[in-house]
Each structure stands twice: as C-alpha cells, then as structure tokens.
Structure 1
Amino acid sequence: MRSQDGRPATVLPGGTGVPAVTAVLASLPAALDGTAPALRVVDPEAPVPPAPTAPAGVAALVATSGSTSGTGHLVALDGAGLVASARATSARLAGPGQWVACLPVHHVAGLQVLVRSVVAGTEPVVLDTSAGFRAGDLAAAVRRLRPDVPGYLSLVPTQLARVMADEHAVAALRGLAAVLVGGARTAGALLTAARDAGVPVVTTYGMTETGGGCVYDGVPLDGVDVEVDAGGRIWLAGPVLARGYLDDDAADRDTFRERDGRRWLRTNDRGSLAGGTLTVLGRLDDVVLSGGLNVSTAAVEQALGELPGAGECVVVGVPDEHWGALVTAVVVGDGVPGLEQVREHVAARLGRHHAPRALVRLPELPLRGPGKVDRLTAARLAAELLAVEDHRTERMR
C-alpha cells in the first residue's frame, strides 16, 4: 500500500528507557484518535530514518523483525485496530488494569502495552531493560503496581525462563492477573513449570500485522476469526488487521487478501484447528531437507523441550556434504543431555530421520526484535563452531 496522501509521521526513539517510553506514551492518545500524525517509533540503536508519510487513520508505523528472512516490512497500523485489540484483550482477561512495560516500544508487543494502558486510563510501570533483563528488577517493578486494579505483564519466552530461575520473581508474578507470553514459541516444559508455580501465564499468538497477539491460549480474541486451509496455513481476519505494508506493494498484495468480501491475513505459519482452538505448529518454511527427507524444525524443538533440564533451543540446518543439511540442535547451557540422549529422545517421538546429528551449546541464543530467535545467525554460529570442532559441539560421525 503506497500512501498518496496523509501526513509525515512523528519519528520517536524506542527501546525501554523511561524518557523514550514516556515520550511515546504522551504522543499515543492523539495518534490513536487521529488528531495528530502517526508515530514511527524506531530502534534507538539504529540510524534515524526520514519521516514516512502515513495515510489518514494510521496511528503507528512498526517494522517487523524479519527473524527468518533477515528483512522486515514497515506495517501501517490503524488507530481503530490497535484500540480494538486492546479492548478485546481487556475483555478476555480480568478487565482494564495496570501494566508493567518492559518490552521495547519500537516493536508491536511493547507498543501494545502502552495502547492498553491508554485505553484503560492507567499509567504503566516502566522497567528499563536497556542494560539487560534481570528477574529481580522485574519483581521490584511488579511490586510497584497498584493493588486496586488487575496487574498485567507481557514477556517473551527468554524473559520467562529467567524469571523461573528466580524464586522472588516467581513469587511477585503470582499476584498478577495475567502474564502474557508471546513473540516466539514457548517450550512446553517452561509453560508447565510456570503454571505449576502459580504464574498466570497466557500464551499469545499474533504478529505485527495483527497489532500484536490476537489468539490467547489458542482461542481467538473477540472479533478475530481464524481459518486453517488444506495446506495447513493459518489465515486471520478481524478489526485488528493492519492497513498493510507501507514499503512493499507486492508483499502487501500477497499477504493481505480479499475473500468473500472480507479482508484476511495470509500468514506463513502452520496450524490446526480443533473445537475452535488453534494449535500453532511452526512456520511453513521451518523445514530442513536432510538426506532427502523433510525435517520439521518446530516438531524437533517441541520434542527437545520435553527433555530434563531443557531450556531455550532452536533447530537449524547446517550445510553438509553428505546430508545436504545437517539437522543441528542449538541449545543454551549445559542442562540438556548429550547428543546421543537427544537423538534417542527425538527418534522415539518423531522417527529416526528427525533426530539431530549435531548439538551446539551457546551461552544464549541470538535474538532479533522483541525476543524472536534469529535463526539465520544461529545457523551461522553453529556452522562456524562445527567447522572447527569447538568443545561446545557434538557431531555424529
């Protein structure tokens, strides 16, 4: 969608710092109701771009993270759609409340926390994570929430994993009305541990193109419709959909489709629907061709999440002369057992051809955007370490 008219957007720095969040929050109400230009909140560590022109009705221009392709798009989000998302979230949870803002506001998850605060008429508690996320700091921020309204928090899986390693943070989060977790797949073992500990976790599925999460614990928010086509592709519709891509007309036409007089978002995700509940099975392109067979990286990651000591992980394909692509598990720390046990576990769940043939341990996974694993960088790091037979690697011979 190219803008032929409209006003130049207001460019503001993002991140999680208090001055930046305060400035975005102050400008947001007028952007949402259309009395002021749209906001283009940018990564504070990136060069400041020229102000793009936003069509009338657009409240925010948000860049996608491009965690798989390495490139993203500039998404135009209507004020009405952002407000609809915030109200539907409030209706699904415990009503209007106060939020802890600890996600970068130049990404949709962090921006949506501020939109929900504006709609609820409450002031968020801002936690600056610019120097790193610490569970103890989060616990202190949660304790600053008002006791007279529901308390909410939005996290990415990496942050939830760190919370679960801190008993004081876990205790603080127990008192919240809901802890939304999204932006990337959350390991089943981590979800179980959090819920067993009394943390009110709600998983969310959505994207920048839907103004953030629009399916909570597998159930669409009010007004949102979900379909899964014969090929397993997830389609989404409803008032939360973005206006489109401001920077790529071809991608805009391919992603946003008119069907039976209604506008739908054609996602790149695979899923299944049963009894109105959506299960997200991974991306359509998350497949590694190894030894002539297709290996679903999402399925292998889910199996790895069942292992004792499992934490964060990603499965990638590393170029290999014999296999074409070597199925490689990239894991964090030393909690996951060795390659032989990993292979036995995955083979029992999915079959021998899904079993990783290499294991790489990293101190942390490379991330892009608000907390999505950067698969391109993870694959590159794995290839580099395997090439020199680093002590952090194991490989089948």
Structure 2
Amino acid sequence: MEFPLTIKDFLDRAVNVYPERVAVVDEADQPAPSMGSLTYRDVDRLARSQAVALDDMGVPVGGRVAVLSQNSARLLISFFGVSSWGRVLVPVNFRLARPEVDYILQQSGAEVLLVDPELVHLVDPDLPVRTIVFGDTDDLLWNRTGEPRHWPGDESAPATINYTSGTTSKPKGVVLTHRNLWLNATTFGWHVGLNDDDVYLHTLPMFHANGWGMPYATSAMGVEQVVLRKVDGAEILRRVQRHGVTLLCAAPAVLTAVLEAARDWEGEVPGRARLRAVVAGAPPPTRTIERIRDELGWEFIQIYGLTETSPLLTVNRMRAEWRDEPRERQARLLGRQGAPALGVRLATDPSGEVLAQANQCMAGYWEMDQQTADAQVGGWFHTGDGGVLEDGYLTIVDRKKDVIVSGGENVSSIEVEDVLLSHPSVREAAVIGIPDEKWGELVTALLVTDEHVDESELMQHCRERLAGYKCPKRIEFRKNLERTATGKLQKFKLRQPYWRDRTVQVN
C-alpha cells in the first residue's frame, strides 16, 4: 500500500500524540499582538481556520499564498494552514527591497499576501494581490469554523516556492514538493537526533528554505518551538536559559554574535553540554568551531545544502573515531561540510563542481524551464559550488565563480578567509579577486577588525600559514560587509566597484 507523503502528516501526528503540549511560544515584542503560548491543538485549529478562510476567498488548490514576515507564530502556522490543503506557500525574504518583493509577488502569481505590519511599506498597493496584514486585518484567518475543503493529497504537488537569495541574479522560485519537504524533514530530524524532549529556538529565518524543514520535523515530535523575531546574541542566550533550549539552527554569523554576548554573560553559559547548534549558510572558520565547542560548550553540527535541495545534502557531526584527536584537529574535521545524508548521492564533475542526486532535490524553478534544465543536466543537480570528496566527506572549496586565478594559480577565497579569521583581531573577512595587469586577479582581503591591528601584522600572519601566492596582496578595512539574510557574504556586491567598467568579470 502507498499513501501520499504530505506535510500535513507532521501536524496530524503532533495533534494526535501531543495535543496539549506547548507547540509555539510566540515573540512577545512584535507589532502584531502576540499569540502567546499555543498548544498543538491550538496550532491545528488555527491552521484549519486559515485553510477555511482561503477556501472562502476562492484560492484554488495550487494557488499561491505569499507571506512576508519576520519569524512569528502566524508564519509558522501558515506552513500548515496553506500547504496542508493543497495550496502553495511562498515565504518571502523580509530583508529584500520593495522592487525585489514586487518581482517575487508577480513572478509567483501570488493571489494572497500575508504581511507583518512592520513590512507593509515593502508592498506595492497597486499589485493585484489581496493583502492581509497580521494583527490588523487577519482576524478573518483565525476565527473560522468548519472543516477545510478536502484535498486528497499529492506528494508530487508543489508545497512551497522558495526564492533564492539572488546574490548573482534575479531570484529564482524553487519549487519544492510535499515529497521533497517530507523526506528532508524526516532525514534532517533523524541525523540531528531530534526527540520529544527537545526545545527548539527559531534563530533561523523561517522564510529560508522553510527554516531548513525544522517547523515540520519539530512539530511531528511534539517539540516546543520558541520564536525569535530578530537575532541578538544576548537575547539568544536569555531564551536558551529561560526555555531550556536544546537545539537551534543558524549561520556562523549568528553564532559569532552569541560568542560576543557570552563574554559579558554572568555565570555559566546556558545550554552547556546539552545544546546542539546546527550550522550552515557559509563555511565557518576553524576558530569559530573551536569557540562554539569550548567557550559555549555547545555541540557543533555542520550541514550543507541549498534552497534547491530542501536543503539537506550533507551532515558533519562529531564521531567516536575522532574523540582521541586534539581539539584543534577535531574542529578541522568538523569544518568539512560533511558526509552525504541518508538517501543523498554526491559527485564532482571534471571542473570540481559538486553534483547531487536526492529525493529532496527541487522539482524545478517556477516558470523557468531553461534554468531548470541547466541545473539538472544529466540527472544531477548542479550546485554551482566547487568541492572535494575525500574519505566520504565533502569539503566546499569555493563557489566556482569565486575562485581567484592569480598568476595562473587557483586560490580558494575560503581558505584565505579561514586563515585571516584565525587572527584574534579579525571579526569578519571577505576575500575577492580584483583586476590586476600583472597577476590577472589580485587576492584582496576586505576586513572588519579591532582597531589596534594593522596591515603588516595581518600580512605576516598569512605568510606564516599560507603559500605566498595565496596571501592577500592588498588589505582594506571596512566597518561592515554585505551579507544576505542567511549570513552569506554578498561577494558580487563587494566586487562591483572593482569590475564595474569591465565587460568580462574575470581577468
């Protein structure tokens, strides 16, 4: 016998097994009235009410419902209230500019937009989309009675369309099916040891690859989910302490903020020896991994994936075989992106690009047939990342387009950044190639540092740890570096001033 795998399964299990458990602790400080603490019975009731409201609005099965919101209980409920009855949720990055939001709403064909009151200014009122403002006009979503219109379920149907960060071009809508999301959530939960004793903190923006699938996986296990609206290192520590948080997902930049806040924390850092921090979004420096494990006492787990892969492709977690290794060696082993997750096949092509086959790989890009075909040539998803597979583990060397070719030698910007970030005065680093008549591309470091460090000290630090051709030939100090909402360096923006007048973006 076979039955369709749909994301409704996760909430159904929660309400059947853990109906009176606290499901969500909503953000208290937000412009819409907080929903407070909700049980899984409450979440199920609200999701059904939302589905009935969409029925009454005439949104058909397959219709797109966009949501533009910071992390909130309303957003979390919408993962179920929209997709569980056959409609397609379009979570929108709340850090985008208005033209980018307009583009996504139009390109996705969204019929309804749910928006946080703090973000209404990002929405063009002339767009042909019905807009419902959370906490203002959203009563009609949460007070409906009766049962939603029956949907028999189709695991191949789109459940969400998640738009890529757009670091190199206009965002593309990644179509993720119920099957994609179901298998990603269950595999992810299994690899990180998710259980019904956990308490999960939503530090990760839920719009990003559907919170990596955690809203689904945690719900199925009756996990208490604590909503964090805006990232703040000290506030993360306070919530870990207040709620007994045992699991969170975050980009390295978020954990760096926690590390900074921990310096001023009085008493033992909360979560020590019991909190698992799952990290992705950018390869973390070795020193950051060491600090997370030693200063916070948190378990460090690294994953790798993309929006197009739901996102899980690899997992790197401490192994028994590594326990006798020195701590620095352990951190370097954990610094690899990881071994393929269950059901994932990885390979590299002759250029070094990482290729993937997995049940959680996307159905395609929304209304972009050529881009879909280009990304899936030969039955493999082409990640665009350059990597090396060794001893069963993947190490990302660089984005293929980020490899710096200087004097005929390939330089991995990630390797140089890792060395620079091992200096105690360097807080952020981005290494790029800029045009140079002699070398083709000049290895250039853009740094955020403490005030007392100078260029000569940093140059010497690199010379002691890197081959000469890899060392930065130029260092510029910045107050901040451009990043996406998920913590990735926006290197295309950092490069623009140097390459602006050139038609070819390599030299």
Q: TM-score range by the shorter chain?
A: 0.7 to 0.9
Residue 157 of structure 1: how far off its partner (Å): 0.9
Q: Deviations over 1:223-266 (max 9, x none)?
A: 1222233432211121211111114222211112344xxxx211
| Contact 1:297-1:315 within 8 A present in 2 as well | yes
C-alpha separation in 2, matches of 1:292 and 1:25: 50
Residue 109 of structure 1: how far off its partner (Å): 5.9
Structure with higher RCO (Cα < 8 A, 6+ apart) = 1
C-alpha separation in 1, matches of 2:388 and 2:212: 29
In the alignment, what sits opposite 1:161? Answer: 256
C-alpha separation in 1, matches of 2:437 and 2:392: 45
Residue 307 of structure 1: how far off its partner (Å): 2.7
Aligned residues between the structures: 364
| Contact 2:414-2:431 within 8 A present in 1 as well | yes
In the alignment, what sits opposite 1:315? Answer: 431
The 1:381/1:175 distance shift into structure 2, 3 A limit, reads farther
Task: Supply the RMSD in Å over aligned alpha carbons.
Answer: 2.8
C-alpha separation in 2, matches of 1:157 and 1:85: 22
Amino acid aligned to 2:165 = S
Q: Name the stretch that deviates more: 47-56 or 266-275.
A: 47-56
Task: Write 1 or 2 for the structure with the bigger share of helix.
Answer: 2
In the alignment, what sits opposite 1:152? Answer: 247
In the alignment, what sits opposite 1:58? Answer: 158
| Contact 2:65-2:82 within 8 A present in 1 as well | no
Aligned pair partner of 2:454 in 313, 334, 338: 338
| Contact 2:212-2:310 within 8 A present in 1 as well | no
Query: Is the counterpart of residue 302 in structure 1 residue 352 in structure 2?
Result: no
Query: Is the counterpart of residue 224 in structure 1 residue 280 in structure 2?
Result: no
State the secondary structure of the residue aligned to 1:166: helix
The 1:53/1:377 distance shift into structure 2, 3 A limit, reads closer
C-alpha separation in 1, matches of 2:377 and 2:81: 30
The 1:335/1:90 distance shift into structure 2, 3 A limit, reads farther
Could you tell me which runs of 5 or more consecutive residues in structure 2 were left unpaired when the two chains were aligned: 1-59, 111-153, 317-337, 501-507
Q: Deviations over 1:355-394 (max 9, x none)?
A: 212112222221113111111222347899xxxxxxxxxx
State the secondary structure of the residue aligned to 1:66: coil
Query: Is the counterpart of residue 181 in structure 1 residue 279 in structure 2?
Result: yes
In the alignment, what sits opposite 2:87? Answer: 37
Q: Name the stretch that deviates more: 162-171 or 278-287.
A: 162-171
The 1:60/1:329 distance shift into structure 2, 3 A limit, reads same
Amino acid aligned to 1:284 = K
In the alignment, what sits opposite 1:22? Answer: 73
In the alignment, what sits opposite 1:78? Answer: 177
C-alpha separation in 2, matches of 1:40 and 1:124: 21
C-alpha separation in 1, matches of 2:235 and 2:391: 40
Aligned pair partner of 1:11 in 66, 75, 82: 66
Residue 328 of structure 1: how far off its partner (Å): 1.2
| Contact 1:270-1:281 within 8 A present in 2 as well | yes
In the alignment, what sits opposite 1:372? Answer: 488
C-alpha separation in 1, matches of 2:172 and 2:208: 12
Amino acid aligned to 2:383 = T
Query: Is the counterpart of residue 205 in structure 1 residue 304 in structure 2?
Result: yes
Query: Is the counterpart of residue 121 in structure 1 residue 226 in structure 2?
Result: no
In the alignment, what sits opposite 1:393? Answer: none
State the secondary structure of the residue aligned to 1:172: coil
In the alignment, what sits opposite 2:57? Answer: none
Alignment of 1:133-148 (within 5 A): 133-145=231-243
| Contact 1:103-1:154 within 8 A present in 2 as well | yes
| Contact 1:84-1:239 within 8 A present in 2 as well | yes
Query: Is the counterpart of residue 256 in structure 1 residue 372 in structure 2?
Result: no
| Contact 2:62-2:158 within 8 A present in 1 as well | no
The 1:81/1:57 distance shift into structure 2, 3 A limit, reads same
Task: Write 1 or 2 for the structure with the bigger share of strand.
Answer: 1
Q: Give the TM-score taking structure 1 as reference length.
A: 0.82
Residue 210 of structure 1: how far off its partner (Å): 0.9
Amino acid aligned to 1:38 = V
The 1:234/1:336 distance shift into structure 2, 3 A limit, reads farther
